[in-house]
Amino acid sequence: MAEFKRIGVLTGGGDCPGLNAVIRAVVKTAAGNGIEVWGMRNGFGGLVENQLEALAVSSVSGILPRGGTILGTTNRDNPFNYRLHKEDEVVYADLSGQALANLAAKGIEALVVIGGDGTLRIGAEFGQLGLPVIGVPKTIDNDIPGTERTFGFDTAVSVATDALDRLHTTAESHHRVMVLEVMGRYAGWIALHSGLAGGADCILIPEIPYNLAAVNAKITERRANGKLFSIIVVAEGARPLQGKMVGVKAAEGSSESIRLGGIGEKLARDIERLTGVESRCTVLGHLQRGGSPTPFDRVLATRYGVAAVECLLTGQTGCMVALQANRIVTLALADIAGKPGNVPVEGDLVADARAINICFGD
């Protein structure tokens, strides 16, 4: 049994429903074991800048149903390569020593790091410097290998499914094709789950490059069968079989330009042009990241928070908590970092979708 008197917690990367539930569970579980918890403001940046604050049990009262993170977050700062502004110039420096010194000054002996791939990797680096670190995987995209679910994903799927339910009525009333663009730059989990739940006719994901002709054939076949409308869910990172990624500002080549509603709008325009069926696109964007987490995500996030502290108590470090077959397990952080967590193209879920005649554009 390891003994800690004081541990730290931080949230990094994009906003995600359930972050507060993890923080709350960390603080409550620690308190039950006589451990104090300190929070860092705004991810690793706050650790470098020494923005630390004690988190009492009363600090986390009432935050379970709230979206966002009471600690603030950012997806920018890396202490090992820290951006500094020096006389009109941006320079980068390794300030990991500063970060460790800030922890030591407060007597903080271990760190719970809640974040996505980038944040967990930084956590792993601190682990290699001797700091006991536990990772809690966070991504609404569900694309972290080794865990069946990341928290926030169920909420994102709920928002997307609610949107599909709404678009259905308009599609039916107007005999239109309605395209919904959802998150998923590299992995199509949100598109796949919400497409199944929302009764989509086509689901286009990064893992399965699509053929526009196949999509149009699906729409035309439905109309031939008296179904005058169609619903398409497309992950922001989906791409056509031929040619390259498209986006409103694709010329600039930045991934950001694609985030801004590129693929869905293009798809709707192309479908309308080629099939003659009125087509419209909606880009869900940030709505998928915010707001109160679903009960599923609240429970999962709470279990992760409890498990993270229990890892420290049992002397495990350098690991990430994960969900497997309804149980919380631990995986070595080093084994995870940088590996993709894509939708298996030959997997059950894709096969199930095909069985009920959903088209993947291939």
What is the footprint of a second copy within residues 66-95 (CB under 8 A)? 66-69, 72-74
Is the CB of 243 or the CB of 355 nearer to a second copy?
355
In the complex, least distance from residue 87 CB atom to a second copy, rounded to whole angstroms:
18
Active-site residue, from 15, 88, 141, 352: 141
Does 117 appear as a known binding residue?
A: yes
Cα angle: 362, vertex 158, 142; to 5 degrees = 60
* Assigned token pair, 115: 């974040």
Is the CB of 103 or the CB of 178 nearer to a second copy?
178
CB under 8 A: which stretch of 12-20, 96-104, 107-115, 201-209 binds a second copy?
12-20
What is the residue whose two structure tokens read 């020593």?
97
Is the CB of 102 or the CB of 158 nearer to a second copy?
158
263-322 binders of a second copy (CB under 8 A): 265, 280-283, 285-287, 289-292, 294-296, 298-299, 302-303, 305-307, 309-310
Is the CB of 175 or the CB of 339 nearer to a second copy?
175
117-176 binders of a second copy (CB under 8 A): 148, 154, 157-163, 165-170, 172-175
Q: Using the rule CB under 8 A, is 9 a contact of a second copy?
A: no
What is the residue whose two structure tokens read 């917690």?
9
Binding mask 215-234 for a second copy (x = CB under 8 A): -----------xx-------
In the complex, least distance from residue 158 CB atom to a second copy, rounded to whole angstroms:
5
Catalytic status, residue 94: no
3-class secondary structure, 4: coil
Give strand ranges (E) for 56-205: 82-86, 89-93, 110-115, 133-137, 177-182, 202-204
In the complex, least distance from residue 129 CB atom to a second copy, rounded to whole angstroms:
28
In the complex, least distance from residue 348 CB atom to a second copy, rounded to whole angstroms:
6
In the complex, least distance from residue 292 CB atom to a second copy, rounded to whole angstroms:
8
328-347 binders of a second copy (CB under 8 A): 328
What is the residue whose two structure tokens read 């919400």?
194
Does 49 appear as a known binding residue?
A: no
Nearest-angstrom CA–CA distance, 223 and 198: 19
Is the CB of 1 or the CB of 325 nearer to a second copy?
325
Contact 352, 192 (CB under 8 A): no
Contact 309, 1 (CB under 8 A): no
In the complex, least distance from residue 105 CB atom to a second copy, rounded to whole angstroms:
26
* Long-range pairs of 271-278 with CB within 8 A, sequence gap ≥ 24: 271/177, 271/179, 271/212, 271/215, 271/216, 271/219, 271/232, 272/177, 274/212, 274/216, 275/177, 275/216, 275/219, 275/220, 277/175, 277/176, 277/177, 277/219, 277/223, 277/230, 278/174, 278/175, 278/176, 278/177
State the number of CA atoms in the 13 A half-sphere of 305 facing the CB.
28
Is the CB of 135 or the CB of 293 nearer to a second copy?
293
Active site residues: 141
Residue list for the binding site:
14, 76-77, 116-119, 139-141, 176, 183-185, 236, 280, 286-289
